[in-house]
Amino acid sequence: MQFHPTTLFIHGVVETRFLISEAVRGEGAILENVNGERFMPRYHLLKELAPRDIVSRSILEEMRRTNSDHVYLNLAPIGADRIKHRFPKIYEECLKYKIDITKDKIPVTPAAHYFMGGVKIDTSGRTNIAGLYAAGEVSSAGIHGANRLASNSLLDGLVFGYRAAVDSISYTRSTEIDKAISEYHLKRSKQMPPRLKYEEIQNMKEKLKTIMWDKVGIIRKGSDLKHALSEIARMSKRINYMPDNKFELEIKNMLSVSLLISQAALARKESRGAHFRTDFPMQDDIHWRRHQVFKRRNLFNL
């Protein structure tokens, strides 16, 4: 999971997920803590131009140091006219919250941004399940390193999406697959109500989000990851059946993905790109310069 360092932060507005482009820092904007102090020079020689994983961790550390839930992005060095010319969308979006970025600092915080892995595919977008294709953020095409480059999302979605579409046109489904799909749709047409109450499902989602952010987020360590796995396993036992409705299916899938991420993070005893562990802060090319694949069935063998 990659984290974007500068997401617009507005108190009391949970749905705000607007990303303040890293190009803003490239143009000269500086990061300041809630006390108005520039802090990136303390963390990296490149200051605000450090890699996004380092900037994200630095912001998080500064938030903890100053006991705050955000920092500020100060665009004053860019100049008002250039701000409006280069970043009109950011200017307009911030104005919705009465923030004039030609005069005011932008409150920002890191946020979960992009998956750099997922369903394994070949160069045509095919998975190991006949007839199932994947492209974009959900897929693992092997084009990302430990820290995704911004433009790689275009390659991820457009190139592999096109290849998957072209390949799927020539694909002929077998009788067995046709039958399985028909049976699935017949079952879905008779969707059963959730066994869990809607409030329970929502509470599970919120708890899972908190666990993943607090224990499996920007800065990780073994004890936190083990705690996360224990909590996720306990929650999973409440829905250890195949649901017949989208509400339970969604939380079940969220739990599965969270387990995979947490297990992989615990197993990788090093730091590399977006994956940073305080108990293993150095990169280890001898033992860990490779990919890892986990299957659902062995996740609880800790």
Q: What mean pLDDT is predicted for residues 4-11?
A: 92
Residue 84: its pLDDT value, please?
94
Amino acid letter for position 39: F
Q: pLDDT band at 267, cuts 50/70/90?
A: very high
What is the architecture of the domain spanning 198-298?
Answer: Up-down Bundle (1.20)
Please give the C-alpha separations between residue 241 and each of 206, 249, 253, 269, in angstroms, as whole numbers: 21, 10, 12, 33
What is the architecture of the domain spanning 2-114?
Answer: Alpha-Beta Complex (3.90)
The encoded tokens of residue 163 equal 């290849």
Residue 302: its pLDDT value, please?
40
Beta-ladder partners of 272: 275
- Where are the CATH 3.90.700.10 domain residues in the chain? 2-114
The pLDDT mean for the chain works out to: 88
Residue 174: its pLDDT value, please?
53
Alpha carbon distance 297, 20 (integer Å)? 39
Q: What is the DSSP string of 103-158?
A: TSPEEEEEEEEE-S--EE--TTSB-SSTT-B--GGGEE-S---SS--TTHHHIIII
Annotated catalytic residue within 17, 38, 52, 163: 52
Beta-ladder partners of 126: 133
The encoded tokens of residue 168 equal 């799927």
Q: What mean pLDDT is predicted for residues 41-63?
A: 95
Amino acid letter for position 149: L
What pLDDT digit, counting tens, does each position of 212-259 carry? 999 999 999 999 999 999 999 999 999 988 888 888 999 999 999 999
If one compares 147 and 220, the residue with the highest pLDDT of the two is 220
Q: What are phi and psi of 103, to 5 degrees?
A: -125, -35
Residue 52 bears catalytic tag: yes
- Where are the CATH 1.20.58.100 domain residues in the chain? 198-298
